[in-house]
Amino acid sequence: MWPMTTLRFLLLILIFVVLVYPSTEDKLINGTCPSSKKTACVDGILIRKWEPSTGLSVGDKLARATIYFACLLYLFLGVSIIADRFMAAIEVITSKEKEVKVRKKNGEVQTIYVRIWNTTVSNLTLMALGSSAPEILLSVIEIIGKNFEAGDLGPGTIVGSAAFNLFVIIGICVLVIPEGEVRRIKHLSVFFITASWSIFAYLWLYLIIAAFSPGVVEIWEALLTFIFFPIIVICAYIADTKIFFRKFLKKKFRAAGRLKSIDIDAEYPNHTEEVTYVPESDENQVSEFERTRLNYVDAIKEIRKKNPNIDMKQLEEMAQLDVLSKGPKSRAFYRMQATRQLTGSGNVIKKAKVERRMSSDDQRMESESYAPHVQRIFFNPGHYTVMENVGTFPITVSRVGGDLDAVVSVKYSTVDGTAVADEDYVPVSGVLVFRAGETHKQFSITIIDDDIFEEDEHFTVILTDPTVVHSNTFLEPLLVEPTKATIMVLDDDHSGVFHFEQQAISAPESCEYAELKVLRDSGCRGIVRVPYQTIEGSAKGGGKDYEDAIGYLEFQNDQTEATIRVRVVDDNDYEKSEFFFVQLGEPQLVDKDEEHEQKFMKKMIKI
């Protein structure tokens, strides 16, 4: 994103230079451009002319230029901060969610959250307004200061920004895609609609400025231009939701990725309007928590492979950062991120999001709006990361809202993932009963420890069938996310990390063999083969300077070191020192047939 941020920064500086610095009359004088002659300094819109303005020495001009530039930076940062606050407010508005309750066929009531604002509509309205706020502000200041006559900036502030978004940003996004990778436009129909209207907008501006009424914007042109905007938004919304191309199913909810529908129980008439229909653009949010959970598990596995000795807390923080960095972000995110990095605030937004993700879920639940009789039951937290030798550890279930003096029960049970019951963990199931005044209940899960190396595994615990056992008032128990707790079991029987003992060694030609010791750290479980091969440098193989070597080092269980021997040829000729490389390939467990892509680590040998 740095090219776009830099270009926007330069663009705003140029705009401020024109705005703050004294402007000149844009007329021809004796057939020549006024920029080629000495012109009188006039008052700027925000900063008045500094008297005296004539007869200045070079030192005076330099001093004034420095002060003007300092004012320029001050105003630039001020506008950036205002735009940042404005975009943060818009981000809060557009991220608001509403509660939608559905009842599955097994009788379980499930709560999902969908965004109130359609993404396409928010991008075209509030997001566009917020991201263009500096340009709009500059244009408004200038047009008011010029008595509603076109100034040096004119419509170029907004039109230029729009052209930048349409051509430069799209061009850079296409340019920076790594070779061999593919990126696809998520909503192609919306893209075609907005791109077509954008091209039309340029043609329309040309017509009203240069064709219909040259140099003058008439009232009918302004009104018609304004009317085009809601038409654009409506067209994009129709393209996004496909509202005219599908059938509405009354009292049905179609979950993403499923062909079955979930019936809404008629006993909840108050919820009928909320759940009769959910737009397709919002359906992806139904399974967002599940996708995030799976991405979190994958991230932990990848980080563990690269850092087998990483601290548990640091592992979880890195996994959450990885999930956040790969997730979709709004236009406001990048705008605020660029501004805050420019002003030295760092990655503030990402840090704040991580802190919110790591906070307890009951705080999030308290901020949501629920009916007073609804009591929410959920796992707290929804992710657990434990070592294989942890033994027994507790799982916490919490409830918030409603009458906390009521007695409520909920069932729980374990479900296999990559971890298998009775092999990796002891399966459990049962009923938790919240007594009067209790907001948290726990049950224990036991992890089975073994001495066999295996991949990091996970399984889940689910909540079902919330029931009111006793209550003096009407109470509706409701399962809310997270209704699944993911338990990530990290294997403590790591097979090891392999590396050379020394970065480089020297071997005389007369030694006959060069010996390279390979060490095995961070675990020594299992039989592992490490491929190796020689690579030519200035020394040539094939028997000229050394004999080519390719093969496997086989480390037995608990073996921590092994040696590679490469035969060096003594040709009895005087020559300068030469070198070649030995490369280690990706280690392989002998009981796995899976082929690994060769990622080599180089080792240089001088002879």
Chain-wide mean pLDDT for the chain? 71
Helix ranges restricted to H, 376-418:
none
Q: Cα(326)–Cα(302) distance, rounded to whole angstroms? A: 14
Q: What is the pLDDT of residue 147?
A: 75
Position 397 confidence tier, pLDDT thresholds 50, 70, 90: very high
Q: Where are the beta strands (DSSP E) in 391-525?
A: 392-400, 407-415, 429-434, 440-446, 457-470, 476-479, 484-490, 497-500, 504-506, 513-521
Residue 244 has pLDDT above 80, yes or no: no
- The residues, ordered by sequence, that sit 6+ positions from 114 with a Cβ below 8 Å of its Cβ are 97, 98, 100, 278, 279, 282, 285, 286
Structure tokens at 54: 């004539």
Fold classified for 372-490? Immunoglobulin-like (2.60.40)
Amino acid at 34: P
Mean pLDDT of 424-444: 89
Tokens of 589: 């467990």
pTM metric for this prediction: 0.44
- Long-range Cβ pairs for the range 295-301 (8 Å, 24+): 295/323, 295/326, 296/320, 296/323, 296/383, 296/486, 297/458, 297/486, 297/488, 299/323, 300/385, 300/456, 300/488, 300/490, 301/455, 301/456
Q: Cα(21)–Cα(5) distance, rounded to whole angstroms? A: 24
Instruction: Judge whether residue 582 has pLDDT over 80.
Output: yes
Q: Contact at 8 Å (CB) between 415 and 459?
A: yes
pLDDT of residue 28: 41
pLDDT reported for residue 364? 47
Sign of CA dihedral 314, 318, 321, 323: negative
Q: Write out pLDDT tens, residues 348-363.
A: 445 555 445 444 444 4
CA-CA distance, 381 to 483, in Å (whole number)?
10
CB 421 within 8 A of CB 457: no
What mean pLDDT is predicted for residues 58-65?
Answer: 86
Domain boundaries in the chain?
2-94+132-183, 372-490, 497-606
Give the domain 497-606 fold: Immunoglobulin-like (2.60.40)
The CA distance from 45 to 137, in Å, is 13
Give the whole-angstrom CA distance, residue 485 versus residue 61: 68
372-490 matches 497-606 in fold: yes
pLDDT at 277 > cutoff 60: no
